[in-house]
Amino acid sequence: MQHRIVIKIGSSSLTTTEGGLNREAVSFFASELADLRKAGYQIVLVTSGAVAAGFREIGYQERPKLLHEKQAAAAVGQALLMQTYREALVQHGISAAQVLLTRSDFQNRKRMGNASMALEELLGRGILPIINENDTVSVDELKFGDNDTLSALVGNLIKADQLLILTDMDGLYTKDPRHDPHAERISKVTEITEEIMGVAGGAGSSVGTGGMRSKIEAAKIASRGGVVVFIGKADTAGDLLAGAQGRGRGTYFDTRNAALPRKKQWLGFLSTPLGSLTVDDGAEEAIILHGRSLLPVGIRSVHGHFQTGDVVEVQNRSGEVLGRGIVNYDSDQVQQIMGLPSSEVMKLLNDVHRLEVIHRDEWISLKP
């Protein structure tokens, strides 16, 4: 199979100093993407820039800050953004497709499957998929700047080998270099620790959203899918190929040993818990330290209404989140059987198909 790469281009790399869309930057990236394809890489592009491309046309003097204004600007700008990409790519004989996704598309396994099939078909036919968040309907994105997260989710979805997150900074530094001239670049990260999370700050420019922090969160998600992540800069010919070949100007996150099976990726990062269970110390030790299934006896309380097969969050008695799992009972049944040993559960419920409330194969630990 061809080497697959997801490339994410942030607003900071696509805007002029006045905040509008920088057409020259789009042309530059089109030529870089063409070179990567010539070198044999299969590519999916995740691009920001819709708000930047649209706000002037609808009469705002500067990049809007209010949600509904950003949504309106993105609605105008997305068309212009795509048109600009298409015009630039056609010069290199590349045909592009627009794919707009929201976070909720990934929370639903069926919709995720549909997106995956469409992307495979486009790639199979040599089309370049260009993805952006569907900003007009996606409240969270515009608030948190989730195109970094989106690119990581896309990377996992299409089983990419690499994710290149391009920004205005040539990698992760020990401090935000805009505020600390003594900050040093970290060239390789093999484990995303609390310390690494701690060095990352917020957005550096008025156009970017999320800053390094959201890029590292994205690296964390992608690493769970076995994707190598590069965060860096590309503004000179050959930079993108260098990034793909492991000699880019930036930081590489090679944490593939943290990879998880697909179902567990979904459980941990995309599913929406419909309730929660509080467990006692013994149950916490069994599920966290010994990798056992969660039995009724260790459950102390139940919150929310859920059905068999739904996802719930599990927390300890101090309220710390331990992980998520798929339940074998609905919330009323868990109320009935919590705290009981398995022999009592069997007597109480006529139809016991599984004794575990959450089986260890349907569980993901989220404890740091």
Ligand X SMILES: N[C@@H](CCC(=O)OP(=O)(O)O)C(=O)O
Binding-site ranges for ligand X (CB under 6 A)? 10-12, 48-52, 74, 132-133, 135, 141, 145, 147-148, 208-210
Nearer to ligand ADP, 125 or 179 (CB): 179
Taking the C-alpha atoms of residue 178 and residue 292, their distance in angstroms, rounded to an integer, is 47
Residue 313, strand partner residues: 276, 324
Q: Determine which residue in the list 7, 10, 293, 312 makes contact with ligand ADP, applying CB under 6 A.
A: 10
**CB 206, min distance to ligand X, A:** 10
Nearer to ligand X, 134 or 331 (CB): 134
200: amino acid identity, one letter: A
Q: Determine which residue in the list 129, 211, 226, 248 makes contact with ligand ADP, applying CB under 6 A.
A: 211
Residues 6 or more apart in contact with residue 88 via CB below 8 angstroms: 23, 26, 27, 29, 30, 31
Closest CA to 153 of 235, 227, 239: 227
Segments in the chain forming alpha helices (H): 23-38, 50-54, 67-90, 103-107, 109-124, 139-144, 147-157, 194-199, 211-224, 239-244, 262-269, 281-284, 331-337, 342-348
Q: Which does 49 bind (CB under 5 to 8 A by kind): ligand X, ligand ADP, none?
A: ligand X
In this structure, what token pair is assigned to residue 305?
A: 């209404």
Q: Judged by CB under 6 A, does residue 265 bind ligand ADP?
A: no
Q: Judged by CB under 6 A, does residue 226 bind ligand ADP?
A: no
In this structure, what token pair is assigned to residue 171?
A: 């990698």
Q: Judged by CB under 6 A, does residue 22 bind ligand ADP?
A: no
Segment 146 to 175, residues that bind ligand ADP, using CB under 6 A: 167-169, 172-173, 175
Q: Which does 51 bind (CB under 5 to 8 A by kind): ligand ADP, ligand X, none?
A: ligand X
Taking the C-alpha atoms of residue 251 and residue 232, their distance in angstroms, rounded to an integer, is 6
Whole-number Cα distances in Å, 304 to 21, 277, 278, 294, 319: 46, 9, 12, 18, 15
Residue 45, strand partner residues: 7, 130
Residue 323, strand partner residues: 314, 365
Nearer to ligand X, 202 or 339 (CB): 202
Q: Determine which residue in the list 79, 197, 199, 355 makes contact with ligand ADP, applying CB under 6 A.
A: 199
**CB 26, min distance to ligand ADP, A:** 15
114: amino acid identity, one letter: N
**CB 71, min distance to ligand ADP, A:** 18
Q: Judged by CB under 6 A, does residue 210 bind ligand ADP?
A: yes
Nearer to ligand ADP, 214 or 223 (CB): 214
| Residues making up the binding site for ATP | 8, 167-168, 209-215
Residue 281 burial (CB < 10 Å; 0-12/13-18/19+)?
Answer: exposed
In this structure, what token pair is assigned to residue 68?
A: 């509904």
Q: Judged by CB under 6 A, does residue 38 bind ligand ADP?
A: no
Nearer to ligand X, 214 or 328 (CB): 214
| Residues making up the binding site | 8, 48, 135, 147, 167-168, 209-215
63: amino acid identity, one letter: R
**CB 163, min distance to ligand ADP, A:** 13
Taking the C-alpha atoms of residue 164 and residue 260, their distance in angstroms, rounded to an integer, is 20
Q: Judged by CB under 6 A, does residue 144 bind ligand ADP?
A: no
Options 35-43, 201-209, 240-248, 253-261: segment touching ligand ADP (CB under 6 A):
201-209
Nearer to ligand X, 101 or 295 (CB): 101
The DSSP result for 198-223, as a single string, is: HH--S-SSSS--SHHHHHHHHHHHHH
Taking the C-alpha atoms of residue 25 and residue 16, their distance in angstroms, rounded to an integer, is 9
Nearer to ligand X, 214 or 278 (CB): 214
Q: Which phi and psi (to 5°) does residue 47 adopt?
A: -125, 140
Site string for ligand ADP, 97-126 (x = CB under 6 A): ------------------------------
Q: Which residues bind ligand ADP (CB under 6 A)?
A: 10-13, 167-169, 172-173, 175-178, 199-201, 203-205, 208-212
